[in-house]
Structure 1
Amino acid sequence: MKIVTIVGARPQFIKAAVVSECIHKISKSNDINEIIVHTGQHYDYDLSKIFFEDLNLPKPKYNLNVGSGSHAEQLSNTLIRLEKIINNERPDMVLVFGDANSTLAGSLSAVKLCVPIAHVEAGARNFSLRIPEEVNRILTDRISAILLCSTQNCVKNLEREGICDGVFFTGDVMYDLHLRMRDKVQEDLTIFHNLEIQPGEYFLGTVHRPRNTDEKKRLKDIFVAFLELDKPIVLPLHPRTIENLKNIDLYERINRAPQIRLIKPLRYLELLRLVLDACAIFTDSGGMQKEAYFCQCPCITLFHNTSWPETLDNGWNRLVDSDKNRILEAAHQTIPQEQPRLDLFGDGNAGRLIVDRLLDCLANPRDIYL
């Protein structure tokens, strides 16, 4: 029994690590052979390698080195390479994660060759086709044989679209990893010393969505708000964000500001350590919204909607878009009284449930290509 797992960006490494570990545990008794393909969509090779090492993700058999580029360039280059690999390996199933271009490319490559697709994190929706990831999600879900949902809300989203067969609520693999790693990093204070910040006395921010980084007014409004915060803010920024800050003559001001800690993207364990003790998180990342929720850290989302409405419960996540005044107002919010409902994302056994579903479906295949 052979499964080809396709990854290409940091969030996918995190999710795949949990599932791959579960596959490895039962591989001998169930004769499962997992082959990992790294598309290279995340083109920082050193940081990509660190993620594989930190999370004990098996070394990929194939690295496609697709790199950066437009959506069309990434998709076309990945499709061409993946088709050859899937033809050569002839897997029983292709496993994809999330909503990156690697997700869609892997799904399209598989469906054209009539190989069943399993989609982890199926059914998440922003309800806006202006968001590239939303297009990737919808298309991938439409052609997947197995749809593995992080929350019951994701199941309902699929039902509204008429997708009911092959849909399973498993919980969120990111929650699995969070539970496993949080105690391991709790005592490590190295990053606080390096950044000259105190636990509980700083903000954490990430800005990477094209709409926030490419639209000059949105980018300026967000970072001018950061300059007016009354506590230090740690900003691990994507190279594209830095380049666009330079284009609007804001980078030097940000870089010199005493309360701003401008750093390179972090490895997962370092980022988790910062989330655990941040006053609040400013982000446009769906993954970070969930991580903040798991850590019981208030989240301020720099977008007008979220694919994880569960995190809005009881005020743990606030949607402020790029509005400077709303950003600063939210920075002074008090910690919500009611605890997050972490059970909305499962019980920490999503990886095992996903593998169980894969085994069931491989033993009793559902042919959607008739």
Structure 2
Amino acid sequence: MIYISEGLLYVCFAILIGALTLRIVPEKLQPAVQVPNGLLLACAAAIPVLSYVPIHQLARLFAKDFELSYFAMLKSILLDVKAGKAWLWTALGAAGLAVLLSAKSFRNDRHMPKVALFVTMLLIVWLGYASHASSLSALKGLVVHTAHFFAFSLWIGILFVTAWFSRSAGKSADNWPAFLKWFSPLAIICVVVTLLAGFTLMTFTTPEYVNAWMLPYGQALLIKHLLILPLLLFAYTNGFMYKSAVAANPDFHPVKWLRIESIAAVLMLGATAFMGQQTPPHTVKDTLQTESPSPLFTWLYKGSFSPDLDLRFTLHMESILMLAAALLVAVAVVWTYRLNRPWTALPLGLLAAGFTYLGLMFSIS
């Protein structure tokens, strides 16, 4: 349940950020996008509900351990713990956002989306305030987590909203080149910020990156990183091959390709949601004293498992073959764009990530 709520929380933020950003962009620079106001209102209302799930689990766990009532422990968490305080501000901000989105003037006033976007950004700041990185380094953790989450939400949010809520035909079809002209560089900036902030976050949570693969958190982190591969492949084709595709096929339309890119992004959000509820392994050896190793790791690792393992890379023929297969499949993904076969590209992109995963797992010893 908590993994689902975490994933849905990320999706809600992405939809809000994407839709509100597009409300600010001039119509001539985007395809006609129609996101129902009811959906935006539902996302705003869902944020405090979904972010309450870990608070609820924490209250239940501690109430049992300290032999207190649920509501007494909940009160203590909300008033004394950073995550609880952040949730109170989140609930207040989400309520204000819901009021803005439900106002009749929101549909016509060009400034209201800016205010709503600002409030949504504040919600992201409070999410960063409650993050694990912020608990380790208050200011640096807050800034890095907020930058990481906002950049990713902006990129994926615009992508998701445009892919699933735009009209695929009509006058707005002529706006795709204008849209991609500004969205592609914005996406590149967001990717760079996301990666830099993500690597910085790893210095907080996972200083022993390779050794962390022995744990469920490390496996989820690795899978998340590898899912970036198909996402970047689709971003490359959508951003840099659109003109040549249209020149070769006048009927070519990018909306299906944006949809498969958004599906890859949602899969990565799933891995992120799983990570969010795992114990970050600051010291892998110590974490393994209280937590079982990843079943996926023990299944694929050829040696005998021990908490004292210090994993190293050693290329073997099978790992080289897997990595070579990943490269070939990645090339095939680019080629499918030329052939305009998006639903073939999606499994190929995931296959490239899978081959890369096996290549890395087979190379550790």
| TM-score bucket (shorter structure) | under 0.3
Larger radius of gyration: 2
Q: TM-score, normalised by structure 1?
A: 0.26
> Which one has a larger percent strand, Structure 1 or Structure 2?
1
